[in-house]
Amino acid sequence: MDPTAIQADMGLITIVDTPEEWADMQGLVLSEFQMRQQGIRVTDFAYHELVKMRRFRLSYKAHKRRKTAAHRKEEEREMQLMQAQSKRDDEYLARMKNALEKKMMEDQEFALLVAQRDVFTADTKVEEAPGLNGVVLPDGLSILSPSSSATPKPDAAVDYSEFSTADTGNHHKPGPDGTILHYRTLIAWNEATNVTTYHEVPITEEEYQRHLKKQQKQHQQKQAFCHGHPGHLRLGRYTCCGKGIGNFGCHQSPRHGATQAVWELQEDFQLHETPQDCKHARRCIALDCEMGLTDMGEPELIRVSAVDYFSGETLLDALVFPKVKMWHLNTQYSGVSWPMLYDAHLKDNTIAGRDVARQLLWNFVGPETIVITHGGREDFLALRWLHPNVIDTLECEDRRFDPEHPRTLKNLAKVHLGREIQRTGRGHDSLEDARACRDLLHWYVQNLPAKMKVKVVPPVYVHVSWEDIVAKGVPSTGIEWNPS
């Protein structure tokens, strides 16, 4: 299809591939010095950089919100409610502990009375309990005949040192042939005598292994989770779930801090350079990504869109199903919700992780391809991508004599293009943003002065000694100065 027809159908600005257009775009490409200033990576991460970045995200950026006076009052009220709830929980636990201790004392006293009564009955009126002689109770306690010389243990009717409300464990004993036998301890209660007894039941090796696996699974499930609200308070309710202050957190994280190993951290943030063997590389594309937030407070790719600069053709536009545990999808800004993501995933309409998304982008991008972004630091970081030729429309606005404020894509598109974007109120549309970024760059190419469309190189500092200055003949000021 004719590129002009494609652009007309989509309401895009018609861009003709001319040498002048290409030369001006080359002048707007960021140098390595400018990429570092914009926060776009030009080299792979060192370990100390990763640790610093993770610490920053966990402590500041992932939980950043503007603390207005109203928010501070709501937070103070929330803290008071949480402290009151914590105090009520402590009082409840104390009452339960006291009740349990009281119950244990009553049971021990009752067991002692029962044991003494049984001993007295066996000593005085054996004929009234003909079927009870020889019945063994826990830990040697039994109902004895008068001629027996054994002494019962009245306080052992209930042994609370071994009692546990949880699932009792297994123990092992050597068998007759020296092999280790596994036993299962079970608790039983006799209603007639009101005595708690422990029974050892032998189990097989397979049953023991199944029990071990069950315990491991329960241990994994019982790991502590950090529950919280990723949104902020607005009119007494959280923006993430709509619940009020004092409600249980709607999102959970497996830990409070970063406990990732060194090799895991470096493997997760390994950056990849653009390959040299792209067979269908485009000359220039516009890129926009949407990110959610992982449980570690770091951005993760959830949608990627790419548009050809000259033809306006949509090269890639798809949701990305993350392979890491997510805290939330940042739906307020990304426009991607969990129902939308899972529905596309069930229909097999998603990309499996950021690595696959990066490989799909490389079908259209070579080392010489120019990639247009608007504040592309997070986009390239989410893709784990190193690319040498980048144009940032945020930096292009800074080249103007009187830059607009704020420099958001929405405001710049409205001022320079007369186009309204992000109007739905349901977050951003990455495809719409990529097209706006494309047209915005063309506006800068057409309207920036020629002297501003040159690549900026870093300043070069040359060390000059005092002897060189004197040798070149500095004009005398009449002031004698001894540098030593």
What is the bridge-based pairing of β-strands 226-228 and 326-328? unpaired
Band of residue 473 on the pLDDT scale cut at 50, 70, 90: low
Whether 408 contacts 295, CB under 8 Å = no
Name all domains of the chain by residue range, CATH numbers in brackets: 3-44+271-452 (3.30.420.10)
Closest CA relative to residue 182, chosen from 190, 174, 191, 172: 172
- Mean of pLDDT values over 253-282: 76
- Mean of pLDDT values over 57-70: 48
Band of residue 98 on the pLDDT scale cut at 50, 70, 90: confident
Structure tokens at 327: 């805290």
- Give percent of the chain with pLDDT exceeding 90: 31
Q: What is residue 201's predicted lDDT score, i.e. its pLDDT? A: 73
Higher-confidence position of 412 and 427? 412
Q: What is residue 121's predicted lDDT score, i.e. its pLDDT? A: 61
Question: Does 128 have pLDDT greater than 50?
Answer: no
Question: Does 329 have pLDDT greater than 70?
Answer: yes
Residues 347-378 pLDDT 10s: 999 999 999 999 999 999 999 999 999 999 99
Q: What is residue 276's predicted lDDT score, i.e. its pLDDT? A: 92
Taking CB atoms within 8 Å and a gap of at least 24, the contacts of 14-19 are 15/309, 15/310, 15/312, 15/438, 15/442, 16/310, 17/283, 17/310
**Measuring CA to CA, how many Å separate 10 from each of 49, 271, 313, 371?**
42, 34, 9, 21
Whether 241 contacts 231, CB under 8 Å = yes
Measure the CA–CA gap between 253 and 154, rounded to whole angstroms: 51
Residues 33-53 pLDDT 10s: 899 888 899 988 887 777 777
Peptide bond into 152 cis (omega under 30): no
The separation between CA 222 and the C-alpha centre of its own chain, rounded to angstroms, equals 19
Whether 37 contacts 255, CB under 8 Å = no
Give me the amino acid identity at 208: Y
Taking CB atoms within 8 Å and a gap of at least 24, the contacts of 179-185 are 182/207, 182/208, 184/211
